[in-house]
């Protein structure tokens, strides 16, 4: 696929939309190559910290739901890191053409400087803002515009489980100390 190409899986509700994300969530990024390197190194450090924490809570025998949530977050972080670290090394540039696997002369980016592939798009609700609405009146809107991947989903589900079930999942010592 080339950038922006779409495959409609379930009508206009579930679309595979090929895009590459240069930075963080919602396409946010730091400036230039140094910013990308900083982001990649930050991701590696976060993965190490989360892995150590996960190992400790497993050894303590914390609740399975808590361990599962942290595992989802770790798996998603590792998935996005692998994509960012290696995707640019093994694929050619995909703007205005179809990316080639293992192109002659190497990929479009060096180690830790690649982009993350996002593909799931669920434009659940489409319409126009009412004309009477200041600044946005008459403009088109799409509810749930983000394009994301499996790793992003794992992180999001892990965080939502922690938020929605926090009283049942957080380690007992944490609850007692913070009087939750």
Q: What are the catalytic residues?
A: 118, 152
Check if the beta carbon of residue 112 is closer than 8 Å to that of residue 41.
Answer: yes
Which residue, 9, 26, 7, is CA-closest to 17?
A: 7
Write out the H or E segment, with its range, that includes residue 19. strand 14-21
DSSP state of 10: E
Write out the H or E segment, with its range, that includes residue 143. strand 140-143
In whole angstroms, give the CA distance from residue 113 to residue 132: 45
DSSP state of 91: B
Give the full edge-to-edge strand order of the sheet including 14-21. Answer: 6-10, 14-21, 116-121, 147-148
């Amino acid at each position: 696929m080339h950038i922006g190409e779409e495959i409609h899986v379930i009508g206009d509700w579930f679309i595979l939309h090929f895009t590459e994300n240069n930075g963080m969530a919602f396409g946010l990024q730091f400036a230039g190559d140094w910013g990308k390197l900083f982001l990649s190194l930050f991701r590696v450090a976060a993965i190490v910290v989360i892995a150590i924490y996960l190992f400790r809570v497993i050894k303590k025998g914390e609740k399975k739901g808590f361990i599962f949530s942290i595992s989802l977050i770790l798996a998603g972080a590792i998935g996005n890191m692998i994509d960012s670290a290696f995707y640019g090394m093994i694929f050619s540039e995909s703007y205005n053409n179809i990316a080639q696997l293992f192109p002659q002369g190497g990929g479009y980016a060096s180690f830790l400087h690649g982009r993350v592939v996002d593909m799931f798009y669920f434009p659940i609700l489409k319409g126009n803002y009412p004309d009477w609405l200041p600044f946005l009146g008459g403009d088109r809107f799409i509810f749930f515009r983000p394009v994301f991947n499996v790793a992003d989903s794992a992180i999001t589900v892990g965080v939502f489980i922690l938020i929605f079930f926090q009283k049942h999942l957080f380690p007992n010592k944490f609850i007692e100390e913070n009087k939750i």
